[in-house]
Amino acid sequence: MAEAEAEADVPAASLFGADRRLCSADMLSPPEISRKSTNCSLRSGLLSDVSSVYLSYAFCKRSLMRENDAKAFVRVWKVMEMCYKILGEGKLVTQRELFYKLLSDSPKYFSCQRHVNQTIQDVVSLLRCTRQSLGIMASSRGALIGRLVLHEPEEEHIDCSILGPSGHAITGDLNQLSRLNLSSDARYLIVVEKDAIFQRLAEDRLYNQIPCILITAKGYPDIATRFILHRLSQTFPNMPIFALVDWNPAGLSILCTYKYGSISMGLESYRYACNVKWLGLRGDDLQLIPQSAFQELKPRDLQIAKSLLSSKFLQDTHRAELTRMVETGTRAEIEALYCHGFDFLGKFIARKIVQGDYI
């Protein structure tokens, strides 16, 4: 009985215990691990406050007597066959490239991108591997800039502090990202939701005013951007990570994806979770924004808010901010701060960091 109670407390107890539960889900064979939000659990750290969301025990069964299930079963073997060929040729392909190849070879089984994406997750679960090891490359939109030097063995150094406002494009090749030697004298990592805001801060050389590294995925984070952020957090463990997002449900959802992971990524999700602090925009910052700059929440915003509020991993302070958005029915974008001038944003970020104004 005591042992059962101890096991029930495992996810909240430590990173290591949570991994034991993860492994038990990891080793479920032919049936597909369920990717539904009801099958996620939160793991929290004993030695740090890094948390992540991961898949728990629940799984769904495939019946070969039903046509749709039989197709899903065949898709797994089709994808593994294609990955075997890709690896044999020493190539890397994106999920989009893989879809068009499978659409050409097996149109009966792959009629949309979603079929490929879900099947890749099934293969990852079945083989207990990463998509990179299958020859599938992340399609990256991300960029970074600031006080960081990248050095790949036998390649030239890239000094990210002397680049143009577009920064350094993050490759989708996770193997290449993992080989990079990273050196930095920065004190902060700042994750920026939008590319336009990233370019504004890069053009203003914020990293010369505040010793920092700026990184963006230009919206919802892709795997490569999350991977390099995680690498930076592991290489520089004393460097806090701050997020600058819009004050709306989508902004909070983006922050949570960096902080906890994404249930849609299945068993890969927990690998890239980072301890991200919410710098802004937050409710306390709204007094800086003119009333005319506020917008009404859209149906999509309310849908995202409902999903976040129903999740068990959302921390109380984040929940309070989200509840305020829903109750007021309004949203605000970072650009609204430009009413104080285009150079105000850098001062805003510096003040909040110095004053410890983040959650």
Q: Which residues are catalytic?
A: 100
Cis ω on the peptide bond leading into residue 281 (within 30° of 0)? yes
Residue 121, token pair as written in the block? 């997750």
The stretches of 110-243 forming alpha helices (DSSP H) are 113-127, 174-179, 195-203, 206-209, 223-235
Q: Which of 202, 243, 208 is nearest to 226 (CA)?
A: 243
Q: In sequence order, what are the beta bridge partners of 44? A: 51
From CA 215, how far away is CA 225, in angstroms rounded?
8
User: Which residue type does 5 have?
Assistant: E
Tell me the three state secondary structure of residue 118: helix
233 Ramachandran zone, left/alpha/beta (phi>0; psi -120 to 50): alpha
- What are φ and ψ of residue 217, in 5° steps? -110, 5
User: Which residue type does 189 have?
Assistant: L
Q: Which helix (H) or strand (E) holds 244?
A: strand 241-244
Q: Which of 169, 151, 148 is nearest to 216 (CA)?
A: 169
